[in-house]
Amino acid sequence: MDTEGTHDAPHTVPPPPHGAPRPEPTVPRPAAPPVAPSAAAPPPPVAPPRAPHEAAPEPPVLRWLRTPRPAAAPGIWTYGHRPRPAADPDRAPLRQLISGAVISGLCGWLLWSLLWNGYLGPYWAWPMDLLVPDAWQAAATPGDEMAYAIASWAYYGLWIAGIAVVFGRLGRWPELLGRVAGPLLRRMREGAPVAKPEPDVDRAQWPELRAAGAVDAADKLAAEARAGRMNDVDVARIDHAWRAARGGAGGIASFTDTVLRHGAAAEAHPSGARDLVRRTAHHDLLAHQVRIGVAADHERNPYQHRGAGLALDPGLLGTSLLAVGPSGSGKTSRVLKPVVESMCLQALARRCAVVAVGPVGADLGPDDAFDVVVRIGRPGQDTDLDLYGGTTDPDEAAGILAEALVGDLATGQPGADGRRAATVLGQLLGPFRTAYGRFPSVPELRELLDGAQEPVAELREALRAAGATAQLRELDARARQSERPGDTGALLADRIALLDRPAFAGFFDTTGRTRQVSLRSLDQPLRVRVELPERGHAEASRILARLVLAQFTESAVARTDRSLFACLVLDEAAHTITAEALRGLQRLRGANAGVVLTLRALDDVPEALRSALLGAVGCRMAFAGVTTWDGARFAEVWGKEWVETRDVTDRQIIAYSTAGKVFHALRRVVTGKAATAKAITVRTVERERWSASDLANAVPPGHAVLSVTSVRGEHAPPVLVDLGR
């Protein structure tokens, strides 16, 4: 597969084998070089011998470093991007150019034929007769004959060249040649080796390090790249470490020492991995982009976008992305999987933390691409999900859990108010943590919500023994409220019972016997995948999806160190969008975090929240096959634009003279049509960028319409994307 040089660097260090123990994600390991490959590893392929004069080929990472990345509009794939020339409104169609070139060529050939055969008289040969010596014309000697022949053919060549220039201009041959041969020439230039730039601007020579005085480190890294021991992940990781080192006292000296000791393996990821086992998408880790397709050459697309690659990056995903389309439209395979793969690579470069959530079977990447894989509901798992998100504050834990349990019911069922649910949970979580030093497990919380006499009595005795008077008052208040009709505790007990099933018996443990994944670790380059038990436990899966979304938004905003981009990818986000979740999405823009959501249809979101959802996210994507009513929502949020329209009207020509009437009658007999004249009216009107009907019927399979907005406020209009290129 053509990777455009963006990830051809060899895997210098093999990843840990499948099933090997992985480090605890919440406790980072010190940066250390990975262990060298074992002797059992297969030897690298032996390159064929080179001739003595042959130079050693440069590693692909050098070309990747030196490829230009010009500034472009948001969403444009900048690796090797060449902006299109300005649009020419008078540009002739290709068919017209071809026909004009053929006609002008025939006319030029006819003129030369008439001159050569003497049909236009001998006058065109007079200049040669005047300039050529008489001795050459008489051909007295073989030398004179040869000289006359050469002069004659030179004269004829001048005439042919003149005719070609005149008729070539008339037939616009240069424009036709540039139109036809230009893309061939561009491909040849792209395939040619990238010219080696000057050392002070050559990325492969690390000019920023040299300018800051870290010449030894720059020389070491340049040598590692030339020797083929460095890949694009190493470059991105070391570049990130360098930028962090410049901001601290003594950071440059420490950075230089680490690079000199470990080379390309410096500042490695806590897992020791320096690349993924395999990649399925095009990545540019210098620009932090992943390519998802090419803008189609469509009249609805902006001129500068047509034919350009389209990509996503943290600067866009920081405004969150919503993708809507039916099953099989390519949401997971062509968008989510490349995004997750990009986030995992950037996590290895210590730039990102990613959490990917999806049902069992969702292809979000192989297990070896992640540090931790949590399979909820599968027996024999050694990792677990923290039900309370790693917090120690009972009120915060109560708010997150209330959102997960009754967030989808807050607008549709009596007693399902999120604030009341959080109050009820807080009245139990606070006393329980005070009494036992931990939060209750799922069975214990269910018993407390049900008002079971024995657990409540034991909790009350433990609080009395600890002298926690304030917590006793909370527990008494919970007892009084539970006697009222329509108490929220009963609803919460019913909802938590969905997680108190035999399939989940070994999960959500709060006693410390299992290794739990906490989203409080988003300040580390963490790679986590969570599999939800969709089959047989659909409602429980929705609760868990809302739980992860609530924990992510709360943890991402609460981080003190926001240098890492935190990304949550949630496949099939049906019934997870609530009013509180939308408020959380809007807070992520300023927290260097974002969420990627997919939906089969907007019907999976409450009617009152559909427009608010499209307004809360900055990147919107409508896939082929969306319904007309979903298309109407996208058309409304994308708005309208001013376009120029042409109205052509046929007006019948009325003849007043006798000859004119006879001519019109003959024309009607011959052509069967009356004599008409066309009237063209040009107007500027306002039109929807993409109408609901176009989105539902005019988007081809394998395509989607994408609009993006950056965290800096830059935005691009909706573009039709070919996701297969």
At residue 5, does pLDDT exceed 50?
Answer: no
User: Tokens 């969709």 map to which residue?
Assistant: 534
- State residue 26's pLDDT score: 39
Which amino acid would we find at residue 509? Answer: D
At residue 14, does pLDDT exceed 70?
Answer: no
**Predicted confidence band of residue 292 (pLDDT cuts 50, 70, 90):** very high
Mean pLDDT is highest, among 4-8, 163-167, 674-678, for 163-167
Structure tokens at 107: 């006319």
668-688 in b/e burial notation, b at 16+ Cβ within 10 A? Answer: eeeeeeeeeeeeeeeeeeeeb
Q: Is 591 within 8 Å of 559 (Cβ atoms)?
A: yes
**Predicted confidence band of residue 48 (pLDDT cuts 50, 70, 90):** very low
Please state the rounded mean pLDDT for residues 5-21: 39
- State residue 225's pLDDT score: 94
Residues of the chain above pLDDT 90, percent: 55
At residue 712, does pLDDT exceed 80?
Answer: yes
pLDDT in tens, 115-162: 888 887 777 778 887 777 877 767 667 777 788 888 888 888 898 999
CA torsion through residues 69, 719, 624, 322, sign: positive
At residue 92, does pLDDT exceed 80?
Answer: no
- Other C-beta atoms within 10 Å of 430: how many? 21
At residue 501, does pLDDT exceed 80?
Answer: yes
- State residue 35's pLDDT score: 34
At residue 111, does pLDDT exceed 70?
Answer: yes
Nearest to 555 by CA among 610, 583, 515, 593: 593
**Predicted confidence band of residue 233 (pLDDT cuts 50, 70, 90):** very high
| Rounded Cα gap, residues 516 and 500, in angstroms | 18
| Rounded Cα gap, residues 588 and 403, in angstroms | 17
- State residue 30's pLDDT score: 34
Please state the rounded mean pLDDT for residues 175-195: 69
Q: Residue ranges per domain, the chain?
A: 94-171, 281-381+518-639+697-725, 387-515, 643-688
Q: Round to the nearest angstrom and report the end-to-end CA distance of the chain.
A: 11
At residue 667, does pLDDT exceed 80?
Answer: no
Please state the rounded mean pLDDT for residues 585-610: 94
- State residue 88's pLDDT score: 60
| Rounded Cα gap, residues 335 and 619, in angstroms | 13
Q: DSSP letters along 532-594, please?
A: E--TT-HHHHHHHHHHHHHHHHHHHHH-S---SEEEEEESS-TT---HHHHHHHHHGGGGTEE
- State residue 188's pLDDT score: 66
At residue 598, does pLDDT exceed 80?
Answer: yes
Mean pLDDT is highest, among 140-144, 444-448, 650-654, for 444-448
Q: Where are the alpha helices (DSSP H) in 559-691?
A: 579-587, 610-616, 628-638, 658-671
| Rounded Cα gap, residues 564 and 372, in angstroms | 18
pLDDT in tens, 57-77: 789 999 999 999 999 999 999
Question: Three-class SS of residue 635?
Answer: helix
- State residue 23's pLDDT score: 40
Q: What is the mean pLDDT of the chain?
A: 85
Check whether domain 281-381+518-639+697-725 has CATH 3.40.50.300, yes or no: yes
Please state the rounded mean pLDDT for residues 473-480: 92
pLDDT in tens, 322-345: 999 999 999 999 999 999 999 999
Give Dmax over CA atoms of the chain in angstroms.
136
More confident residue, 298 or 662: 298
| Rounded Cα gap, residues 555 and 93, in angstroms | 57
